[in-house]
Amino acid sequence: MNSISNKFEKKSIKVVGYGFIFILVVFGIGLIVNLLWNWLMPEIFGLTKLSYLQSLGILVLSKILFGSIGSDNDQKKSDTMEIKKVESAPEEVLYEKWWTEYGEESFENYMNQKDTKE
């Protein structure tokens, strides 16, 4: 019973810790967007300054319009790479197998013959 309680406490502390880190990251990114917008956009394009909440709204809107900030695209890329590996796997696997069995030795023989001719 005590070990179950300890595991639950550890998980609870992790969840609270990750939640706190998430809130800090969101706050930090929103602050950076706010500062950059208010520093650059009014000067360059003559736009009005944003409040902090408007900066967070810009982040959410850009996430909706332009996709993810990180992990989803990485997963799509790895899935695409996996599909390409499966499609070309038989030839590549056979070539690698041939190279390890015969290719290295054949190449060394070729280089030795070339050196003796010169």
- List pLDDT tens digits, range 50-77: 999 999 999 899 989 988 655 555 556 6
Report the alpha-carbon angle 30-56-12, nearest 5.
Answer: 75
Ranges of the chain with pLDDT below 50: none
